[in-house]
Structure 1
Amino acid sequence: MKTTKWVIVILLALITSSFLFFYHGKVARESIIFFPIDDSVTFDKASTTLQFAGKKDDDEYIIEWDVTSLTNKEIYLRQDISLLFSDGKLVDTLSEWEDQSQKLAQYKKITGEDSSHYQTISLHYGEIHLENDLIRSTQRMSRDHLYVIDSEFTDLFSFKRPLTDEELDWKDILDKVTEQHLEYSWNQLIDYYKIDETKYEKIPFIELERYNTDPLLGLSKAKTQEVIGSLWEGLYKNYFLGLKTKEGKVIEPIGSTMPLILVAKNYSHIVILIQAENGLPFKFIQNISLND
């Protein structure tokens, strides 16, 4: 009887701890929420890097993917997310979070094959709790890219910026492949949703990083940060964690096209267009308020 009692106690403890872990994990996964920026919290470091690590076997090679960030002080919550694209398609993601933290570091080895252009972009995010229940945030983006050439006509090699005629030729080829793939998918989405392109500024998702410092169209620096922060919040919930259909089904984002960001020239809203791996179209709208 004693043995049975202890078994029940242990099982209850395991169930409770599993529930607590799941609940805490769920809270963390929903934690990227834009709050007004706290200028007193800055990033001493925010970087994303891709490095060629060499040959894995006759058909595959390895890329090392690193995402690190460091704030100037410890804050309530730190979270970094990163997305990796190959020739315009999402191939992998990274995510890490910590309570009461200052530094985050992630590392992953990626296996690839064939010649490809890899591009990655990360959001480094922090949630700050102040006195009087005020909540603020801090954010910064980083990105990197890498060309890997795996052809039967040449030795395996990689580069970031072309330094030889051969590398320049390969860059042109791979850029054209990516451009054609994305333009075809994006044009399909624009036609499907009957969008008037003349009313929007087009921004490929990977290029968001430049708005760490540049203003978005004619917006102020503060409003740019608000718009970008809200954009990442929406992408995290509706893309990074899975593409949600109208029926409530969640589709894995891996294999989908790089999102196209359409910013309305009248500053009223943003449209995000994505095509899932199975061809299913997705459109998300983010309104912009210029009154606050």
Structure 2
Amino acid sequence: MKTKWMIVIILALITSGILYFSHGQRVRESIIFFPITDSVAFTTASTSLEFVENMDDDEYVIEWDVNSFTDKVIFLRQDLSLLFSDGKLIDTLSEWEDQSQKLAQFKKVNGEDSSHYEAISLHYGEIHLEDNQIRSTQQMTSDHLYVIDSEFTSAFSFKNAQTEEEHEWKDILDKVKAQHLEYSWNHLIDHYQINKNEYEAIPLTELARYNTEPLLGLSKSKTQEVIGSLWEGLYKNYFLGLKTKEGKVIEPIGSAMPLLLFAKDYSHVLVLIQAEDGTPFKLIQNIKS
């Protein structure tokens, strides 16, 4: 009898250990900005949106691919991606691995009606050096796709308008997105009583161009520091859920594209987000001098 109970206790402890270990692994799924190092680089990184099939008269499928490869195996690799349709978040992707250098994700997304899809991804690596210092490497990629699904024509797609018909559809979809986002963003700016003249506004999907460009007069190294810290905050407070003051977590799907407001005095960044139900959110990131 004692032997039987000992076996049960041991099995319980082993199970608890596995659960704890598994939970511990999940906790490590996070973006934490450390100073950037040049000792590791991304050899490839990409985000791709492609029209793959027209299922029927009312629905089509696009494929969303996110890939990255570092030139060395490093302590932790993580990629995350956000997909917007006409300015609203419709889906997310995230993958991470220990002691890795390559990540590859793809997802087929069903769509209906004509839409402008935009995706932005952060490719991230945490590096542990021999002197016990921890460093980061990061890169952003993005892509977009116009899909036209009209009762007057078969579904088709384009990235850059070439024909007269494509230019007409681009103008229509751009105006639809702009009207929706301007309404949401102006509501947020008014709600928080923000003086727009004190900030430089950048929609989240346009942030990828600052992989190489300096951000608003900042140095290249300071730009990467600000972007890395910004993504750390976005991951914790947007990607994983919008947290209210009361502790409630609201699903980010359906929210308006975040608007980034960079203070012209380089003191801080505001991130304005409107949830699908209209709840306003403001995140603040201070920029250290």
Shorter-chain TM range is over 0.9
Tell me the alpha carbon deviations over residues 181-216 of structure 1, each in whole angstroms, 9 at most, x when there is no partner: 000000000000000000000000000001101101
Q: Does 1:132 align with 2:131?
A: yes
Q: Which moved more, 1:244-253 or 1:4-13?
A: 4-13
Question: What SS class does the counterpart of residue 28 from structure 2 fall into?
Answer: helix
> Cα deviations across residues 50-106 of structure 1 (Å, max 9, x unaligned)?
010111233211110000001111111110000000000000000000111111100
CA root-mean-square deviation: 1.4
**In 2, Cα distance between the equivalents of 1:8 and 1:223?**
54
Residue type matched to 1:159 in 2?
F
1:40 Cα deviation after fit: 1.9
Percent identity, aligned pairs only? 69
What are the equivalent positions in structure 2 for 1:280-291 lying under 5 Å apart?
280-290=279-289
- AA of the residue aligned to 2:69: L
Length-normalised TM-score, structure 2: 0.96
Q: Which residue of 2 aligns with 1:146?
A: 145
1:161 counterpart SS class: coil
- The Cα shift of 1:10 comes to 4.4
User: Could you say what secondary structure the match of 1:22 adopts?
Assistant: helix
Report the equivalent of 2:164.
Answer: 165
- Matched positions, count: 288
CA distance in 2, matches of 1:168, 1:186: 26
Structure 1 residues 4 and 197: alpha-carbon distance in aligned structure 2, compared to 1, 3 A threshold: same
**Distance change in 2, residues 1:57/1:4 (3 Å):** farther
Match of 1:24 in 2: 25
Secondary structure of the 1:233 match is helix
Counterpart CA distance in 1 for 2:151 and 2:77 is 44
- 1:145: Cα distance to partner? 0.4
Alignment-derived partner of residue 105 in structure 2: 106
- Distance in 2 (alpha carbons) for counterparts of 1:86 and 1:275: 15
Q: SS of 2:14's equivalent?
A: helix
List, as ranges, runs of 4+ consecutive aligned residues in structure 1 with deviation greater than 2 Å. Answer: 1-16
Q: Does 1:245 align with 2:244?
A: yes
Q: Secondary structure at the match of 2:207?
A: helix
Match of 1:116, as an amino acid?
S
* CA displacement at 1:247 relative to structure 2: 0.7
CA distance in 1, matches of 2:223, 2:239: 22
CA distance in 2, matches of 1:18, 1:112: 38
Could you tell me which amino acid in structure 2 is paired with residue 18 of structure 1?
L
SS at match of 1:133: coil
Q: Tell me the TM-score normalized by structure 1.
A: 0.95
- Distance in 2 of aligned mates of 1:3 and 1:146: 63
State the 1:5 CA deviation.
6.6
Could you tell me how far apart the structure 1 residues matched to 2:4 and 2:189 are?
66
Structure 1 unaligned residues grouped into runs of 5+: none
Rounded Cα–Cα distance in structure 2 between residues aligned with 1:104 and 1:244: 29
